[in-house]
Amino acid sequence: MAKYQDLADAIIAGDNIKSKEITQKLVDSGVKATEILNGGLVPGMDVVGVRFKANEMYIPEVLIAARAMHAAMDIIKPLLAEAGTVMKGIIVVGTVQGDLHDIGKNLVCMMLEGGGYTVVDVGVDVPGDKFVEEVKKSGAKVVGLSALLTTTMPAMKDVIVALKADAATKDVKVMVGGAPLTQEYADSIGASGYAADASSAVDLAKKLVG
Ligand code: B12
């Protein structure tokens, strides 16, 4: 029978055909979707995160690993929903208004999904009121903001202000990231946290969701 380690290895190797095959075999042999997620997919993406941080894996390999994870997730997602599985939490993620960069944001979304979170990806060039609307719709407790331009960093503060101004979203935690960001800048705009890369974003989400 296919083993979790084989699945984790397929994710790490970015083999989406194998990851799909093994996941299907596990499902067919009666293994629960949550066990596939926590036993194979999440540990696989954890290794990817650690290797990426250590510069042992690079962006294209991470994207390919994430694609393999998505292929497996496509099979188990409906089963997770059927079983009413509570994922670790809902996180709304987007690139702020005026900014079209999305490679880093997409990586963060994929790693968060790999970490067991439900991600609502709201895309790029997203204004504050859209974040407010999406948080209300999804019931998210955390928002992730990405900015790659020094000129769009201030738009992060606008989102935080918009979230705080609405009674329904004022307690939402906001994590920020993107190449020009620093912890100091995050503190200065009242963000709840900053992470320098996608795998640290998962650690930060864990802290923020509690
Ligand atoms: C690819 C790219 C583009 C692509 C974007 C394609 C796309 N779909 O994203 C295109 C060609 C469209 C583009 C356009 C522009 N770009 Co550009 N671009 C880049 C480039 C080369 C790479 C960015 C990237 O994807 N990095 C890889 C990812 C993985 O890294 P990352 O985004 O930092 O994300 C990681 C972390 O920051 C973190 N993270 C990211 N988001 C988040 C969110 C959260 C919540 C958390 C916790 C963490 C986190 O985790 C990620 C993964 O580890 C950079 C140069 C560079 N080396 O950074 C310039 C760069 C960002 N661009 C720049 C500029 C100036 C522009 C343009 C204005 C150019 C122009 N004159 O038209 C336009 C602006 C368009 C707009 N309105 O947004 C400048 C910005 C300078 C500045 N100081 O502001 C840079 C730095 C290039 C340079 N040296 O001049 N760009």
The pLDDT tens digits for 97-124 are 999 998 788 878 877 887 788 899 999 9
Nearest residue by C-alpha to atom 53 in ligand 1: 197
Which tops the pLDDT comparison, 2 or 152?
Answer: 152
Determine the residue type at 112: L
Ligand 1 centroid to Cα of residue 101, in Å, is: 5
Is pLDDT at 1 greater than 60 in this prediction?
Answer: no
Looking from the CA of residue 151, the nearest atom of ligand 1 is 84
pLDDT, residue 130, reads 98
Residues 6+ apart with CB under 8 A from 4: 35, 36, 39, 40, 43
Task: Detail the DSSP E strand segments found in 50-138.
Answer: 90-96, 118-126
Residues with CB under 6 A from ligand 1: 59, 98-105, 107-108, 144-146, 148-151, 175-180, 195, 197-198, 201
pLDDT at residue 77 in the model = 79
Distance 71 CA to ligand 1 centre (A): 27
Q: What is the pLDDT of residues 27-77, one digit of tens each?
A: 999 998 888 888 898 889 889 888 988 999 998 998 899 899 889 988 987
User: What is the percent of the chain where pLDDT is above 90?
Assistant: 66
